């Protein structure tokens, strides 16, 4: 352990804390502590690159999320163990999500994810709702694609249900994280690539996209094209104030389900067979 470590404090609207924390944990590979209206990141490596990535993200989102930053160098302590002690396993649908320092749970489909290493540990409202939805809609015979796979947790859930699973993400760090988490769970994905859904010509029984609303709208055509007739499209990462904008982009599909959790919306669409 080094004598010094870096601490980045991000101050922002409390509504966005969990969403931004997921993004930060993915690129920082370090413990992320959530508070009311703030996120604290600690690492033995300089965290300037995290701040720069957040500034870039804020610009990409058109200024919807305003953040302030404080970066300090501090005397080291065992903050990694403190962080581990703050993470509890969760039960959602058929799944039990737990970090590697816990044991699995009988009666559930166990998924091991270390939230200190990548976002998507099931705790965020969007991931939680997606896992619950996967429990209801994904069958053993299905082909599934997870678009913007992040940690790979949603694809892992589908694979453990027996589905054939493809995954993609535009972030190379997420792709590596996905590989690591499948290996951690002794599972093998069917296809994984860096990029978005436009790189596949296949169609799937279930298409999952847990991404921010603006990106969902931008790739709506590709998401719908990749969904088989009578297949399902699970959309998440949608703040309730942007729900109507997303619905407008998918109004040619049939809305099957809507889940609201902590101001985040998950929408389940069915692509009706027009010849049926």
Question: Is the same domain home to 63 and 172?
Answer: no
Q: How far apart are CA 138 and CA 224, in angstroms?
A: 17
Residue 90 lies in a domain: no
Question: Is the same domain home to 180 and 47?
Answer: no
Question: Is the same domain home to 243 and 125?
Answer: yes
Determine the distance from the C-alpha atom of residue 125 to the mean position of all C-alpha atoms in its chain, rounded to a whole number: 10
Tens digit of each residue's pLDDT (9 = 90 or more) over 116-138 = 443 445 677 888 999 999 999 99
How many other C-beta atoms lie within 10 A of the C-beta of residue 28? 23
Tens digit of each residue's pLDDT (9 = 90 or more) over 229-261 = 999 999 998 989 899 999 999 999 999 999 999
Structural domain total, the chain: 2
Q: Which two tokens stand for residue 82?
A: 């403190």
Give the residue numbers spanning the domain of 143. 121-270
More confident position, 22 or 117: 22
Residue 69 lies in a domain: yes
pLDDT reading at 182 higher than 80:
yes
Residue 210 lies in a domain: yes
């Amino acid at each position: 352990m080094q004598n010094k470590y870096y601490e980045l404090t991000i101050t922002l609207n409390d509504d966005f804390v969990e969403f931004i924390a997921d993004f930060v944990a993915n690129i920082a590979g370090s413990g992320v502590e959530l508070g009311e209206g703030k996120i604290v990141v600690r690492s033995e490596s300089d965290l300037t690159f995290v701040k720069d990535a957040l500034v870039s993200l804020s610009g990409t989102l058109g200024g919807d999320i305003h953040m302030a930053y404080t970066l300090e160098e501090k005397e080291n302590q065992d903050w990694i163990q403190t962080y581990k002690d703050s993470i509890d396993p969760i039960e959602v649908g058929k799944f039990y999500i737990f970090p590697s320092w816990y044991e699995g749970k009988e009666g559930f489909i166990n998924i091991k994810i270390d939230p200190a290493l990548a976002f998507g540990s099931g705790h965020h409202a969007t991931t939680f709702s997606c896992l619950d939805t996967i429990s209801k809609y994904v069958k053993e015979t299905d082909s599934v694609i997870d678009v913007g796979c992040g940690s790979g947790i949603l694809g892992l859930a589908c694979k453990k249900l027996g589905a054939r699973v493809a995954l993609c993400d535009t972030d190379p760090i997420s792709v590596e994280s996905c590989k690591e988490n499948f290996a951690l769970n002794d599972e093998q994905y069917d296809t994984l690539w860096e990029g978005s859904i436009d790189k596949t010509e296949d169609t799937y029984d279930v298409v999952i996209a847990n991404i921010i609303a603006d990106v969902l709208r931008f790739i709506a055509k590709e998401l719908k094209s990749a969904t088989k007739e009578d297949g399902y499209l699970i959309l998440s990462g949608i703040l309730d104030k942007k729900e109507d904008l997303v619905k407008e982009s998918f109004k040619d599909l049939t809305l099957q389900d809507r889940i609201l959790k902590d101001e985040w919306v998950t929408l389940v669409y069915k692509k009706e067979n027009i010849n049926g």
